[in-house]
Amino acid sequence: MKLPESDKRIYRDVGEAMISGVCAGVARYLSVDAVWVRAAAVAALFLMPGISVVAYIAAVFMLPRWSL
């Protein structure tokens, strides 16, 4: 069974970055405003600080950069 391929990829959006562009890239991928993703990241930082910091740092190093 062949699954349909999507051209949609996740990147760090350096052009809209506040820190490193992870939240802006996730927002672009999900087609939502970056404010909502950043608010969710801050909430996750207070609820699960260890996992949130490790996940953010991992995303900085693993996601490719994208800018116009």
Segments making up each domain of the chain, as ranges = 35-67
CA distance 2 to 36: 34
The pLDDT of residue 65: 85
Ranges assigned E (strand) in 1-68: 12-13, 65-66
The fraction of the chain above a pLDDT of 90, given in percent, is 62
Q: Is 57 a residue whose pLDDT tops 80?
A: yes
Q: Residue 18 — φ and ψ, nearest 5°?
A: -100, -45
Q: Which two tokens stand for residue 7?
A: 């051209």
CB-based contact 62:8 (threshold 8 Å):
no
| Entry pTM | 0.81
